[in-house]
Structures are given as structure tokens and as C-alpha cells.
A and B are shown apart, each in its own frame.
Chain A
Amino acid sequence: MMTTATPPSPAAETSPKRHMDIRIETRSRTGDEPATRPAPVIQMEDVSCWYGDFRAIRDISLDIRTNAITALIGPSGCGKSTLLRAINRMNDLVPGARLTGKVLYHGEDLYGPRVDAVEVRRRIGMVFQKPNPFPKSIYDNVAFGPRVNGVRGDMDELVESSLRRAALWDEVKDKLKQSGMALSGGQQQRLCIARAIAVEPDVILMDEPCSALDPRATLQIEELMIELKENYTIIIVTHNMQQAARASEETVFLTMGEERAGFMVEKGPTSEIFTNPKNQLTEDYVSGRFG
């Protein structure tokens, strides 16, 4: 039920029509795929995460397709963010968090004894739910990552190319010295994407990157994601079904079982998850009967 307080979203108004568009669009997209796919960048094997005694996700095994957008969907509290943050060892920062199973990055176990979590986060970038630019200038926001990683060379050029790839350059090129906090929400989020790109990761994790943005800024971010997947592997957590359907090639549906531990119900090409899911739980969720 929709409450009067919620502004009507354009997605909701055009829902049935939109659904058909998606079907056509995603089908044509899967048709273009090359016959041989590159090896998955990220592979998870029996991953479980705990916060203290609480098991947040249970026995998840999945491969993430390279140079594609994978959407993680599921009800609130099912462990989507936990799963995402397990990939760049962000959960290490939470006291009491631990993980069992394996998270492989190009075949290397990210939780291996000799792996440096700081280096992991450089290779696997992250964009957060709320735009969180540093309280610094636009330029310094982008240059921060390369600087702390000891990158030498033409910083101006790196800042420009990162902002260009994040589709923000034209809007900010005359005010690089201004604070990143002074930008609009959508611009801030693209600045955060530019900041993530600047350290040249090959995987970008996005944790509900559009939940704080208006529909227009949301679309801009989605278009940007589709451009970026040429060079990056993107994993996005989203609560927005339309967004998952519009932007992603692969969809992973998680839900939670007894004891509130999240588990993976189904993973597949987005078109299949949305039109012909194998599992009844997925069907109920994507059609809006649950969650």
C-alpha cells in the first residue's frame, strides 16, 4: 500500500509498461554475449559471515561475471550489504565480524593469511549508500586515493580522466577547488564514483548507490554504470526492482531463513530472474508479493 507521504515515483506509475520494456531490452542484451566468457573475477565458495554470534549470511557460493553488472536483491536485512562488504573486506572494520569459506579474486583467496586488506580495497573499490565525499575540494576528493597509494605522475590528468569517466567533468571543471560537499546529491555520488575509479580498481561495489537520489540522478548513475562495465566489473545492491532489471545482466536474489541468516535463493541472468524465476520465493519477491 502506498501512503500519502510517499511521493509517487515514476517507476511505480508506469510499472506494467516498464516491465515489458525490460523484458525486450534484457533479452536483446543477452543475445549479444560472446560465446566464451572470461573467467569470473570474484568467486565465492560457501561464504558465511558472522557478527559476534549472529550469522548474517549462510553458505553462499556464486561466481560474479567479469565486465558485467550483477545486482544483489532481496528484502531488508537479508545480508546483501554484508555479502557486498565481504568482497572488499570492509567487514573487517566491524568489531566481532568474521567470515568462513572463500572469497576468490582472480583465483586468490582474499582472506588468505598473507593478503593485505588495504590492497584488497584498492583493487575492489566501493561506492556507498549515502554519498560521502571527503570534506575536501573536488580535486582532492579524486586525488586522495591515488595519493595515499603512492601514485606518481600527472595528478591533474588522472583527476580529469576520472571525473570524465564518472560523467562529472563538464559540471565541475571550473570549480575543482570548491568543496565536494557543496555539490548536489547526484553529483556527490558521481564524485564518489570518480574517487573510486581514480585508484584503478577492476571491481566496483555499489551499496544502494541511488537510494538517496532523485529519479533523474538515479538514471544518470545507471547510465554511467552501463558505460563503466566495459572496463569494470560492477556489483550493486539495490532495493529498486526496476533498477536491477534496467541496469544489470545478472541478478542474485537473497532472502533470510529461520534465525535471520541470509541465504541465496537463486542467481541467473536478470531477464530470467524477473520473467521466469525457478524459485517461488524469487517469483513472490520480484512480483512484489513479498518484501
Chain B
Amino acid sequence: MTSSAVAAQVRRASLQRTGVDVRSAVFQGLLALCLLFSLTVLVVLLVDVLLRGLPVFAARGADFLTSEVVSQPDRAGVVQGIQGSVLVVLIVAVTAIPIGLMTAIYLEEYAPDNRLTRFISVNIRNLAGVPSIVYGLLGLALFVGTFRGLGIGTGGNGRIVLAGGLTMATLVLPIMIITASEALRAVPNAIREAGYGVGASKWQVTRKLVLPSAVPGILTGVVLSLSRALGETAPLILAGAVLGSYSSGDKDFVEQLFGAYTALPMVIFGWTKESAPEFRELAAAGIIVLLAVTLLANAVAVYFRNRFERSW
């Protein structure tokens, strides 16, 4: 064999696999284990809730959804919880989402990049980390207090769904601002420059180029905000939601807005505090309803997100 043929053989041999890469295999196993752990927790929770809750639906059917929150477990339902949660989400949707979006547009597109702007941005991030009970206190002082001052609510106590919805709106506002800001920041500057290059004004560039490109990210913020508004309980405890049974009777929409209210998580929380074991099943059934409502709200937002993504 010539020396070059030997060299070639050595190089060929060096390509052969030599044993297992232990570290890589261990790391991969660890990753899979973490995934398995998260999934297990989720599955156990879901199965437990379904096992407890589904018999309620089997026995009562839609009756559970349309009955009021009363103290007899065989007649209690979640209708006021659904109404209250839907109203809270609607109030959040028409207040926090537009205000948050416009704040984000101002901060990202219009505000000068100076110390004040950066200070405000940092503090909006901090606000997103403030415990929700603090927002509850704010809602109690600000919204419930104001409505009480105006003599609105049952006996003028100010504990109305509008107060709860606005409290929830202040809670999700920072989340909305942050996600919308990030969506706007992710729009490449080249698109803005191209717009300016053909003589578009700042408003036209923002409205016709930047916002459409940012819609998927903005809708992610909407999903997060609405899910949070549906699931949070602590702020509503303070902001006047009714805990425990009550009868709301026949009320039209306006009366509901200015009347006593509760929300799904409040109803569930109330039932878990009851001593009779039947309420455990009711709580589980309530959780199923809450999950369904949350998934439905998210599905709507995801649908719109996908639609906008496909359009370009």
C-alpha cells in the first residue's frame, strides 16, 4: 500500500461510530422525563376532574348549566357564574384590549426612545408581575368605591359586575401591552422603511403595514388576556363578586351590568368550601364548564390568528 492509500484508510476508519455518546443520551432522556412529568400532572388533574364532574352532567344534563347557585346541591347550577364570567370577559375585551393595544402602539411606534419611555416600559413589565390580590384591592378602592359613592348596586354597595370587569381589565392591561409591544417590535424595520420610501405617512405605515403584520402576535396577547380574566379569582373576591348561593331572578342586560354578580371561578371556590361531599362533584363539574369556556374563547382568538397569518 502506498502512503496516501494508508492515509485514506485512516480517514475512512475515523468516520466509524465509536461507542455511544452518553451525555447526549442522558440529556435527551432528561428532557423527555420533564415533558412526561408535566403531561402526567395535567392528565391526572384532568382525569380526576372528569371522573368527579361528568356524573353530575350525566345526572342533571343541561340543567346544571341553567340552574342558579343555590344551597341545595341537587338543584345548584352555574348559570350566574357563566353570565358573570362572560360579562367580565366582555368588559375586559372592550376596555383592556383596545387601551393596551393603543398604549403599545404609542410606546413602540410614536414615543421617543428616551429615559422616560424606558422607565415606563420597565414599570409596565413590573406591573405584570404584581400579585392579582393587589389588583383586587385596587378594584375595591377604586371601582367598587366609586360605584358605591354613586349609589349603584344592590342597596348601593357598588359590588357590581362592571367593577369586577374593570378590576380584571387593569389586571390584564400590562399583559396586553407587553405582548402587543413585542408583536410590534417583531415587525421588521425594512417594512416600515419601504412604506416611508413610497411616501406613506407614519399613520399609514402603522395602520396599513405594521399593524397587519403584527396581528398574529397581538391576538396571542388577546388569548392570554382573556384566559387570565376568565381564570383569576382573587381580585373578584375583593371586587365584590358574590361568594356562595344567591338568586338573581330575571334581569335584563343592563340590570345585570349594575347588579350583584359572581363568576365561574368564584362559584367553584365557593363550592369547595362547602362541607357536604356532593359539592365536590359540583365543583368538578364547574371546573369542566370553566375549562370549556376558556378553550372556546381561546379557540376563537386562535381561529382569527390563523386567518390573518394565512392572508400574507
State yes or no: do A and B come from one complex. Answer: yes
Determine if A119 and B199 form an interchain contact, defined as CB atoms under 8 angstroms apart. Answer: yes
A130, CB-defined interface residue at 8 Å: yes
The one of A132, A144, A195, A198 in contact with B193, judged by C-beta atoms closer than 8 angstroms, is: A132
A107-134 interface code vs B (CB 8 A; 1 in, 0 out): 0000000000011011101111010111
A149 at the A/B interface (Cβ < 8 Å)? yes
Report how far A279 CA is from B196 CA in the complex, Å.
Answer: 37
**Which of A93, A144, A181 touches B198 (beta carbons < 8 Å)?**
A144
Q: Which residues of B in the span 171-229 have a Cβ within 8 Å of any Cβ on A?
A: 188, 190-201, 204, 208-209, 212-213
- What are the residues of chain A within 8 A of B151 when measuring CB–CB? none
A136 at the binding interface (Cβ < 8 Å): yes
Contacts of B197 in A (CB 8 A): 88, 90, 121, 125-128, 196
Judge whether A121 and B196 touch: CB under 8 Å.
yes
Complex interface: chain A residues within 8 A of B29 (CB): none
- Chain B interface residue count, Cβ-Cβ cutoff 8 angstroms: 21
Find chain B residues with CB under 8 A from A93 CB. 192-193, 196
Chain B residues within an 8 Å CB radius of A181: 312
> Is A291 at the interface (CB under 8 A from chain B)?
no
The distance in angstroms between the C-alpha atoms of A190 and B200, with both chains bound, is: 20
- How many Å lie between the Cα of A196 and that of B200 in the bound state? 12
Does B113 reach chain A (CB closer than 8 Å)? yes
Q: Which residues of B contact A126 (CB under 8 A)?
A: 193, 197
How many residues belonging to A are interface residues under a CB distance threshold of 8 Å?
30
Chain B residues contacting A128 (CB-CB under 8 Å) are: 190, 193-194, 197
Any A CB within 8 A of the CB of B149? no
Residue of A nearest to B187 (CB): A135
Q: Is the C-beta of B98 less than 8 angstroms from some C-beta in chain A? A: no
A219 vs B197: C-alpha distance when bound (angstroms):
24
Residues of B within 8 A of A130 (CB): 190
Interchain CA distance A277-B116 in the complex, whole Å = 52
Contacts A/B (CB < 8 Å), 24 sampled:
A95-B112, A95-B113, A118-B196, A118-B200, A121-B197, A121-B198, A121-B199, A122-B198, A122-B199, A125-B197, A125-B198, A128-B190, A128-B194, A132-B188, A132-B190, A132-B191, A134-B194, A134-B195, A135-B212, A135-B312, A144-B208, A148-B195, A148-B208, A198-B198
Chain A's closest residue to B204 (CB) is A148
Interface centre among B191, B196, B208 (most CB of A within 10 A): B196
Q: Mark A144-156, 1 if CB is under 8 A from B, else 0.
A: 1100110000000
CA distance A135 to B195 in the complex (A): 12
Which of A118, A119, A122, A127 gathers the greatest number of chain B CB atoms within 10 Å?
A118
A195–B200 Cα distance when bound, in Å, is 12
Residues on A with C-beta less than 8 A from B209 are 134
* Contacting pair A179 B198 (CB below 8 A): no
Q: How many A-B residue pairs have CB under 8 A?
A: 72
Q: How far is the CA of A179 from the CA of B200 in the complex (A)?
A: 21
Interface of chain B, main secondary structure: helix
Of the candidates A95, A144, A181, the one having the most CB atoms from chain B within 10 angstroms of its own CB is A144
> Which single member of B191, B199, B208 contacts A199 (CB below 8 Å)?
B199
- CB interface residues, A 28-48, toward B, < 8 Å: none
**Could you say which of A88, A145, A198 contacts B200, with CB atoms under 8 Å apart?**
A145
List A79-104 residues whose CB lies under 8 Å from chain B: 88, 90, 93, 95
Q: Which B residues touch A119, using CB under 8 A?
A: 199
With A95-B112, A122-B199, A134-B209 known as contacts, the answer to whether A90 contacts B194 (CB < 8 A) is no
Which residues on A sit within 8 Å (CB–CB) of B204?
A: 148
Known: A95-B112, A148-B204, A148-B208. A132 touches B196 (CB 8 A): no
Which A-chain residue is minimally distant from B207 (CB atoms)?
A148
Instruction: Tell whether A57 is near chain B: CB-to-CB under 8 Å.
Output: no
Any B CB within 8 A of the CB of A49: no
Measured between C-beta atoms, what is the minimum distance from A88 to chain B in Å?
A: 7
- Whether A192 pairs with B190 at a CB distance below 8 angstroms is no
Chain A contacts with B in 191-208, Cβ cutoff 8 A: 192, 195-196, 198-199
Expressed in whole angstroms, the Cα–Cα distance for A128 and B195 within the complex equals 11
Contacts of B312 in A (CB 8 A): 135-136, 179, 181
Set B112, B188, B190, B201: member contacting A148, Cβ < 8 A:
B201
